[in-house]
Structure 1
Amino acid sequence: MLRTSALVLALFISGCTSVATSPRPMDYYSPGQPESAGESLFEPVKNSLADDTIKRILDYRLALPAQNRVAVLKLSSNSYWRYYSDDFTQLNEDIASNFIGRLQASDRVYDASFLPSLLVPEQRTLPFLREAAARYQADLLLAYRTQCRTFEKYRLINPDETRAHCTVEAVLLDTRSGTVPFSVVSSNQFSAKKDSQDNNFSETIRKAELAAIGQSLAETADRLTEFLAQAEAL
């Protein structure tokens, strides 16, 4: 069985970066400005936002429940590698379990789970995603997508080695207000060498990509829990 830790021997990660949203400082708001009551700030259907609506959104002071349900949605499609073998299926499940576990470790999160596929709208725009999160009674929706790029130059040097760059981009949607108060982009570069157990070099690349994605997702969860720890409570 493959495990994330088992890939460490063949995987060398470097240049890790994680850039996340910072909470607004308290002195940003005008003295005496009332706290938010969790009301919706967006009209159901609108071609464009009026100036006064934009001002209300910018002046909105985020406050979250003491305990929150976080619905998670992966926007990028799953690769066929997910079901390539039992090992790959287990590795994907380990990555998802670690990601969810880190979110649930937050004192501000009572539940973190993937948004059921039956609720995922065909049009993945913010209004429809917000409605899906509301139906799931999720206070927050964490949507993310992954992307990996392999540097072909390194195969010219050694056909059994690769180097690539993987990124996880995530945004947090507050279901009550419709605002996006948090975003994070976590990137990792990695190099890997073909293992004797790999059937082909493509398998080597994909295993290394999954390990790098797993690390980026872990960093994403950590940045979000830090953000939630600083958010005001309703």
Structure 2
Amino acid sequence: MRIIYVGIACLLLQACATVGSVDRPGSYYQEASGSSTDGLVEGAIFGDDDKKINELLNYQVKLPEKNRIAILKLSADNYWRFYSNDFTQLNDLLVESLITKLRASSRVYDASFLPAMLVSEKRTVPVLREAAARFQADLLLAYRSSCQSYQKYRFIDPNESKSYCSVEAVLLDIRSGIIVKSVVSTEDFTTRKSANDTNFNETIKKVELEAVAKALGNVANEIVVFMNNVPRLKNS
């Protein structure tokens, strides 16, 4: 089997940033304990829309002891998957790494991609909730990735490129329809064409995959921390 690697001379990760939403403190619900039993603020008059919004805002997320996470990729990035076996293997390793990290949580018994046949072109929250529910998933991890190059570096040296790749992800609680976690992770890197490279665009695509894999790993780490700390449903 051919060994796939990116040499240090070709790829240099310069900076990374991962920002996740902050979990609600327990005191939030203690302060709201004076509200009525249906989750609304006492003394207020609400229409149907207002009532729904207030119920969502006052909902305390609790998950079963063990959960299944369905994964859905929302972007259709061109990573030359079928250009060569190298790209196929890199894509497969990226997916395997994400799933392995999620399954490592003691609160996750399964993490796998939502079957494509369940997902319609209309990807609204209600549609995605129903699709994930049919898959018997407790949570849906939806993400999209994108990569951009800083063009001015190509004018200075056509064999060097500075780029960044970002992964945006949200974790949706299927029971409530609430987004319980959001994460954005960005990896900044510089790549340079080596003497052995026949196509600089191919070199860029490979290092982009490496950067996306690292960003997805950062997302998975944030999700695992959340899962390990989220309150448990009673009798789960």
Question: Same fold judged by TM-score > 0.5?
Answer: yes
Q: Structure 2: how far apart are the matches of 1:143 and 1:32?
A: 30
- Map 1:1-234 onto structure 2 (within 5 A): 1-3=2-4, 6-9=5-8, 10-30=10-30, 33=33, 50-79=49-78, 81-234=80-233
Rg: which structure is higher? 2
DSSP 3-state at the match of 1:69: strand
Residue in structure 2 matched with residue 38 of structure 1 by the alignment:
none
- Displacement after TM superposition at 1:68 (Å): 0.4
- Displacement after TM superposition at 1:197 (Å): 3.8
Q: Structure 1: how far apart are the matches of 2:101 and 2:178?
A: 23
Residue in structure 2 matched with residue 41 of structure 1 by the alignment:
none
Q: Partner amino acid for 1:15?
A: A
Percent of pairs identical after alignment? 47
Q: Deviations over 1:10-29 (max 9, x none)?
A: 21112200000121111011
**How many residue pairs end up in the alignment?**
219
DSSP 3-state at the match of 1:93: helix
Q: Are the counterparts in 2 of residues 22 and 227 from structure 1 also a CA contact under 8 Å?
A: no
Q: Structure 2: how far apart are the matches of 1:154 and 1:93?
A: 31
Structure 2 spans left out of the alignment, 5+ residues: 35-46
Structure 1 spans left out of the alignment, 5+ residues: 35-47
Taking structure 1 as the reference length, the TM-score comes to 0.89
Q: Are the counterparts in 2 of residues 2 and 88 from structure 1 also a CA contact under 8 Å?
A: no
Change (3 A) 1:138 1:197: farther
Q: Structure 1: how far apart are the matches of 2:52 and 2:148?
A: 40
Q: Are the counterparts in 1 of residues 77 and 145 from structure 2 also a CA contact under 8 Å?
A: no
Q: Deviations over 1:29-80 (max 9, x none)?
A: 136849xxxxxxxxxxxxx961111111000000001110000000001426
Taking structure 2 as the reference length, the TM-score comes to 0.88
Q: Are the counterparts in 1 of residues 68 and 109 from structure 2 also a CA contact under 8 Å?
A: yes
Q: Structure 2: how far apart are the matches of 1:102 and 1:49?
A: 41
Q: Structure 1: how far apart are the matches of 2:165 and 2:182?
A: 17
Superposition CA RMSD, Å: 1.8
